[in-house]
Amino acid sequence: MLLDWDRLEDAMELLFHQEKVNPHSHQLNLCDFGSAKMLVPGEPNISYICSRYYRALELIFRATEYTTAIDMWSAGCVLAELLLGQPLFPGESGVDQLVEIIKILGTPTREEIRCINPNYSEFKFPQIKAHPWHKVFNKRMPAEAVDLVSMLLQYSPNLRCTALEACAHPFFDDLREPTTSLPNGRPLPPLFNFTPQCEST
């Protein structure tokens, strides 16, 4: 199921063409971790990081104390873009980015805003209803894909699934099947062999 989606195939084809994916192992190397850092509770961080389309609400609301949940928001944006073939939230500025998010997720509640950044909890937003996910994605999109995106793109950082929870999501069940192979017939590399350190983050 995962390898048959037109949009994902188009995205992978583009990555192959740009020589970003190894054609034999289908391994994709990620780079540009120049802003990566260890997060220390109570230690302030900069809020102006991350490319705009993938920027979590905490960063848009200029929070300086945040968690790795900002990365899970970004992962949700990337997954949605792979499924749609275009960015989900294509804002042209910080304010426009917030508008694009609200157009799909609806107006955040006061409690959600408090979770994002308590300094903005009294801010008044126009009341906009959430756009149903089944209308954001086409009808052919597997329900598991839409569900994972929805779990990653939660306003409240505490409600977003963690990296390990995302890996355990049914969206990836096909990759856990022993008979699943790469398009060239080779077996999949070990995808879910996590170290204790990975499991604790």
- Count of domains observed in the chain: 1
CATH number assigned to the domain comprising residue 170: 1.10.510.10
> Residue 182 falls within a domain, yes or no?
no
> Residue 21 falls within a domain, yes or no?
no
What are the residues whose beta carbons fall under 8 Å from the beta carbon of 181, sequence distance 6 or more?
187, 188
Tell me what the mean pLDDT of segment 141-164 comes to: 95
Q: 3-state class of 71 per DSSP? A: helix
- pLDDT for 7 equals 43
Most confident of 28-32, 117-121, 161-165, 182-186: 161-165
Stated pTM of the model: 0.78
Write out pLDDT tens, residues 109-152: 988 888 887 776 667 778 999 999 999 998 889 999 999 999 99
How far apart are alpha carbons 112 and 101 in whole angstroms?
14
Lowest average pLDDT, out of 6-10, 130-134, 171-175, goes to 6-10
> Residue 35 falls within a domain, yes or no?
no
Q: Is the pLDDT of residue 6 over 80?
A: no
How far apart are alpha carbons 172 and 1 in whole angstroms?
10
> Residue 157 falls within a domain, yes or no?
yes
- pLDDT for 5 equals 37
What are the residues whose beta carbons fall under 8 Å from the beta carbon of 192, sequence distance 6 or more?
167, 175, 176
Percent of the chain past pLDDT 70, that is, above it, reads 73
Among the residues of 55-200, which ranges form H helices? 57-60, 69-84, 94-105, 110-116, 133-136, 143-152, 163-167, 173-176, 196-200
Q: Is the pLDDT of residue 57 over 90?
A: no
Structural domain that includes position 164: 2-6+43-176+191-200
> Residue 184 falls within a domain, yes or no?
no
> Residue 12 falls within a domain, yes or no?
no
Q: Is the pLDDT of residue 85 over 50?
A: yes
Between these two residues, 183 and 84, which has the higher pLDDT value? 84
Between these two residues, 26 and 102, which has the higher pLDDT value? 102
8 A C-beta contact, residue 72 and residue 164: no
> Residue 18 falls within a domain, yes or no?
no
How far apart are alpha carbons 71 and 68 in whole angstroms?
5
